[in-house]
């Protein structure tokens, strides 16, 4: 979302559903298959989308160093709901490269499980930089010299930064137990989507025999 959601954005809780912290959060990385993998997970009958119906909340990117206050943390935990026997999670795929999002997430949901999608950083840079120029440049409406400055002095540097995840990984390792983190390699998911999806579902403790209508 382009802003931090508020309580007014949350629809009524369906009868019999429980609201609480996310059962899982996909924390990285963009241009490493998160949209694809997210669609596969949302098709699973035991996995519910967040209450806002958004693919990616990016909630903790809207707060500075001091982070969200107690009410904003409580609000985040209310954004996830599921009926008995189901789970609900979040996908915010820039958290591994955001300087402080991981520590905010730990404060809000230390019990959650994390999924990290990673990819060859050179391939990921090319894909990221291309997308910035195709999509974000159109959103900004820049042309001529303004577009050139944005492309060279902003997009290029940001695309490089997006492909550097060691600091984010270390931030995760300092807080979560290794058993609570699943690392998926994009190239392996492409080569064996059925096997890697089943591994993901076992990590989430839901039925791993469910096969989506289109794995690719």
Side-chain-facing half-sphere of 104: CA atoms under 13 Å: 26
What SS3 state is found at 136?
Answer: helix
* Helix 166-173 vs helix 101-108: crossing angle, to nearest 10: 20
The CA distance from 101 to 129, in Å, is 22
- State how beta strands 181-185 and 113-118 pair: parallel
Per-residue pLDDT of the chain (216 residues; tens, 9 = 90+): 788 999 999 999 999 999 999 999 999 888 999 999 999 999 999 999 999 999 899 999 999 998 999 999 999 999 999 999 999 999 998 999 998 999 999 999 999 999 999 999 999 999 999 999 999 999 999 999 999 999 999 999 999 988 899 999 999 999 999 999 999 999 999 999 999 999 999 999 999 999 999 998
């Amino acid at each position: 979302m382009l802003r931090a959601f508020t309580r007014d954005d949350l629809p009524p809780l369906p009868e019999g559903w429980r609201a609480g912290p996310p059962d899982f959060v996909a924390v990285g990385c963009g241009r490493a298959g998160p949209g694809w993998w997210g669609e596969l997970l949302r098709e699973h009958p035991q996995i519910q989308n967040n209450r806002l119906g958004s693919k990616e909340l990016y909630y903790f990117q809207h707060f500075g160093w001091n982070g969200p206050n107690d009410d904003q943390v409580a609000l985040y935990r209310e954004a996830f709901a599921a009926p008995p026997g189901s789970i609900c999670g979040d996908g915010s795929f820039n958290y591994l490269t955001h300087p402080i999002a991981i520590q905010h997430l730990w404060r809000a949901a230390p019990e959650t499980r994390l999924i990290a999608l990673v990819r060859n950083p050179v391939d990921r840079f090319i894909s990221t930089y291309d997308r910035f120029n195709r999509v974000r440049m159109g959103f900004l409406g820049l042309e001529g010299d303004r577009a050139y400055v944005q492309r060279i002095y902003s997009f290029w540097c940001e695309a490089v930064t997006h492909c550097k995840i060691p600091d984010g990984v270390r931030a995760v390792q300092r807080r979560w137990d290794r058993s609570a983190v699943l690392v998926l390699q994009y190239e392996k998911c492409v080569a064996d989507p059925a096997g890697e999806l089943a591994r993901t579902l076992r990590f989430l403790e839901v039925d791993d025999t469910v096969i989506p209508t289109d794995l690719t």
